[in-house]
Structure 1
Amino acid sequence: MSLRQIEPKQRGFLIVNSHPEGAARTVRRMWEAVPARTDGRRPVALVLGHSAGYGLATLLAGLRRHGIRGVGVAFETPDTGRRTAGAGWYRTAAVAELAAEHGQDIRLVNTDAFSADAKSQVADLLEDHYGPVDHVIYSLAAPRRTDPATGEVHHSVIKPLGAAYEAPALDFSTAEPSVVHTRIEAGTEAETRATVAVMGGDDWAAWVRALAARGLLADGFTTAALTYVGSEVTAPVYRQGTIGAAKAHLEQTARDLDASPLLKEKDGRAFTVVAGAAVTQASTAIPSIALYTAFLRTVLGDSGFRTTAEQAVDLWDQLEGRTPLVLDDEGRIRLDGWELDPGVQDRVRALWADPQRGLEASRSGADWFMSEVRALYGWDVDTVDYGLPVETDVPWPTPRP
């Protein structure tokens, strides 16, 4: 037992401790925002990167709306006594509790998804309890990856390509949010290759091959990897930068998988899924994304800004055939039409043209962004009494027999 009162430790966007009850409450709210399942089959799914961002939303939407069975994989740190467990650890415990309450069958594994051992472990679980997989959702975001074949450790970077990037960014290091200007030097070829190795499609393809080798791809198998395109405002540091190179590799991997004999013999499909903007732990690390997202939220308001849960519902409904696939000319599933609507982007660009004045007009959006960041770690969540001690040493959930 480790019952203690905790307070957030924060510097800018960096928060190094989490509140278990607050993190659990954010999961329950997301669950409650998903329309409940009424009928239909219960597909077997593997969700890679289930503990945060779009991976978490996809797992919850799949469970509540489509009754998925199967496995989720994440890599989270436990409570150490000096620091709390990671927020994803507490969110995973909350997912398991919800699944048990509603009679859902999901096994949640804490392991490095990039490793060969993880693929073997998950394949064993699937083989023993579920059989072939209908869907693999790939939503991993990590700063580094160890190549399982060579042992080389690759580190991803967030840099532009070709020239330095200078742009306004949102700063929360002072009492009130403010606009600062950031400059990032261009990435090198080596840094680009490393970022592609971490965030491209190699590991995704390795998962599909590993499952196929064990006979664990169901007829009609579908796999989808989450990606992002975003606005021209953020393109120099995102879509046209090192991350963009990785996303281009991810999209080529989808095309290669889709055309591969492994999927053809199963009448299978592979897609990348272009999601819309969101406040995630990964997005806060990208310069200017916070300011852009605050402006976007100001333009769209409560009803127009689509949550990760809403987008995940759209994704599952398309994958399961409840609604038609929304594909672009490159065969990508698009969930971001609300963000890239020309009228919306015109209004965002108008704010971006004078960012200081734009921030003055977007204080509600900036405050919302920071509150969403804090909620990712379980802080500032309504109905949680932060003055009370809380158990921080929460066990990783074990499956029912």
Structure 2
Amino acid sequence: MSIQQIAPKQRGYLIVNSHPAGSEATVDRQWQRIEPAASAGRAPVALVLGASAGYGQALLLAGLRRQGIRGIGVAYEADATERRTATAGWYRTAATSALVERSGGDFTFVNADAYADATRAEVLKLLTERYGPVDYLVYSLASPRRTDPATGEVHHSVIKPLGASYTSPSLLFDGGAPQIGTVDLTPAEEAERAATVKVMGGEDWRLWVRALADAELLAPGFTTVALSYVGSEITAPVYRQGTIGAAKAHLEATARQLQTELADGGRAFTVVAGAAVTQASTAIPSIALYTSLLRIALGEDGWRTTDEQAVDLWEQLTGAKELTLDEQGRIRLDGWELDPAVQDRVRELWADPAGALAAEPDGAAWFYNQFRQLYGWDVPGVDYTAEVETSVPWPGQR
């Protein structure tokens, strides 16, 4: 046990500790925002890769709350040490597991590297022994590196433009006060582009689908989705037209490939979600500023949370709503973000970001608060003066 009072250790967009009670509260708040289904039918089996953060966590909670899913969530989180707390994802997973138990559900959480063959073997064994064939595979992994299980080579992703340098205004928080800075990025080399595709493209997604197929663990009508993003033309040079965009293009090509290979009515989609404040997105230059300005343009009522989008996606996947597909066969959840009138307003704000934030300071304040809540800080209703237990067991470990 390690009961102590803790304070955030932060430098810019890096927070190296998290608050257990705050992290638990973010899960509880998200759970309460998701309206439960009126009636429960058959409980489908779901495998969620990247279940402890971002859209993966939102899809897990929405699936549990509205679809009654059972199955397995995989995440790779660090526990508490003498010097540090556990990661926020560790605490969120523990909180999610407690909600599952209280609601009478059946979901298992595996803490392991989802890119590793050993993890696939562990998950396949658990599925075979406990849950059976998978109805839904959600692929929502975000990592700076991946070890190729075939070669043992470690690939590192980079966030860089392709073909030309990129200069853009960016949002900084030095001392907690928002400031406009500038980011300058040189173009990626071919090896960096290829490595980013290896980490963030569709290769690992396809390995998971093949492993399930080989183990005869694909249910009839099996559906798999991988989370993607397109975003605005404003951020395109560093995102969609950069190394990340190359990886997303590979992910989308993989979806089309999987669709031709799946039998028994199987389906594979990439899902283009809308903007969100996540631990992954805050690492991308200019995204914080763009997201803050987007929030100003939309206002509170126009913004779509990750759980709202997750509910929308589950309704499309289960047939409660018609699929919203684009010409490339991708499921689109981002219409609210890319509405022409909204983007016109964002471009106006982007032309003078310092003036925009001075006139509408709530945009940057909102982003900063959302970012801090990713680590369990600044969550309403949490007493940060109280001592808390930082050594929380992983679900199933007592």
In which range does the TM-score fall when normalised by the shorter chain? over 0.9
Task: Tell whether the 8 Å contact from 1:20 to 1:378 is kept in structure 2 after alignment.
Answer: yes
CA-to-aligned-CA distance 1:69-113 (integer Å, 9 cap, x gap)? 100000000001101000000000000000000001000100000
- Separation in 2 of the partners of 1:165 and 1:41? 50
Identify the residue that residue 127 of structure 1 maps to in structure 2.
128
Q: Which amino acid aligns with 1:308?
A: T
The aligned runs of 1:62-77 (5 Å cut-off) are 62-77=63-78
CA-to-aligned-CA distance 1:7-56 (integer Å, 9 cap, x gap)? 00011111110000000000011011111022232110000000000000
3-state SS of 1:172 partner: strand
Identify the residue that residue 376 of structure 2 maps to in structure 1.
378
Identify the residue that residue 336 of structure 1 maps to in structure 2.
334
Q: Which amino acid aligns with 1:333?
A: I
CA-to-aligned-CA distance 1:104-127 (integer Å, 9 cap, x gap)? 100010000000001110011111
The aligned runs of 1:1-80 (5 Å cut-off) are 1-39=1-39, 40-80=41-81
Quote how far apart the aligned CAs of 1:174 are: 3.6
1:393 to 384, 387, 391: 391
3-state SS of 2:365 partner: helix
Task: Tell whether the 8 Å contact from 1:46 to 1:135 is kept in structure 2 after alignment.
Answer: yes
CA-to-aligned-CA distance 1:274-328 (integer Å, 9 cap, x gap)? 0000000000000000000000001111111000000000000110111110000
- Separation in 2 of the partners of 1:203 and 1:399? 28
1:364 aligns with 2:365: no
Task: Tell whether the 8 Å contact from 1:179 to 1:359 is kept in structure 2 after alignment.
Answer: no
Q: Which amino acid aligns with 1:29?
A: R
1:198 aligns with 2:199: yes
Structure 1, 32-41 or 242-251: larger mean CA deviation:
32-41
Identify the residue that residue 165 of structure 2 maps to in structure 1.
164
Identify the residue that residue 309 of structure 1 maps to in structure 2.
307
- Separation in 2 of the partners of 1:102 and 1:399? 20
Identify the residue that residue 269 of structure 2 maps to in structure 1.
271
Quote how far apart the aligned CAs of 1:382 are: 1.1
3-state SS of 2:278 partner: coil
- Separation in 2 of the partners of 1:209 and 1:49? 18
- Separation in 2 of the partners of 1:258 and 1:361? 48
- Separation in 1 of the partners of 2:359 and 2:98? 41
- Separation in 2 of the partners of 1:399 and 1:315? 32
3-state SS of 1:290 partner: helix
Q: Which amino acid aligns with 1:341?
A: D
3-state SS of 1:180 partner: strand
Task: Tell whether the 8 Å contact from 1:106 to 1:399 is kept in structure 2 after alignment.
Answer: no
CA-to-aligned-CA distance 1:317-352 (integer Å, 9 cap, x gap)? 110111110000000000000000000000000000
Quote how far apart the aligned CAs of 1:361 are: 2.5
Q: Which amino acid aligns with 1:10?
A: Q
Identify the residue that residue 184 of structure 2 maps to in structure 1.
183
Q: Which amino acid aligns with 1:41?
A: R
Q: Which amino acid aligns with 1:383?
A: G
- Separation in 1 of the partners of 2:276 and 2:176? 24
- Separation in 1 of the partners of 2:265 and 2:242? 35
The aligned runs of 1:226-237 (5 Å cut-off) are 226-237=227-238
The aligned runs of 1:282-321 (5 Å cut-off) are 282-321=280-319
3-state SS of 2:85 partner: coil
- Separation in 1 of the partners of 2:311 and 2:210? 27
Structure 1, unmatched stretches of 5+, are none
Identify the residue that residue 118 of structure 2 maps to in structure 1.
117
Quote how far apart the aligned CAs of 1:357 are: 1.1
- Separation in 2 of the partners of 1:286 and 1:219? 39
3-state SS of 2:199 partner: helix
Task: Tell whether the 8 Å contact from 1:294 to 1:362 is kept in structure 2 after alignment.
Answer: no
Quote how far apart the aligned CAs of 1:399 are: 8.2
Identify the residue that residue 323 of structure 2 maps to in structure 1.
325
Q: Which amino acid aligns with 1:23?
A: S
Q: Which amino acid aligns with 1:161?
A: L
Task: Tell whether the 8 Å contact from 1:76 to 1:110 is kept in structure 2 after alignment.
Answer: yes
Q: Which amino acid aligns with 1:181?
A: T
Q: Which amino acid aligns with 1:254?
A: A
Identify the residue that residue 137 of structure 2 maps to in structure 1.
136
Q: Give TM-score scaled by structure 1 length.
A: 0.98
* Pairwise CA RMSD: 1.0
Q: Which amino acid aligns with 1:304?
A: G
- Separation in 1 of the partners of 2:362 and 2:381? 22
Structure 2, unmatched stretches of 5+, are none
Quote how far apart the aligned CAs of 1:175 are: 4.4
CA-to-aligned-CA distance 1:120-145 (integer Å, 9 cap, x gap)? 10011111111100000000000000
Distance change in 2, residues 1:296/1:52 (3 Å) = same
Task: Tell whether the 8 Å contact from 1:234 to 1:289 is kept in structure 2 after alignment.
Answer: yes
- Separation in 1 of the partners of 2:11 and 2:219? 46
- Separation in 1 of the partners of 2:186 and 2:125? 45
Identify the residue that residue 150 of structure 2 maps to in structure 1.
149
- Separation in 2 of the partners of 1:293 and 1:141? 19
Task: Tell whether the 8 Å contact from 1:45 to 1:136 is kept in structure 2 after alignment.
Answer: yes
Using the aligned pairs only, state the percent identity: 65
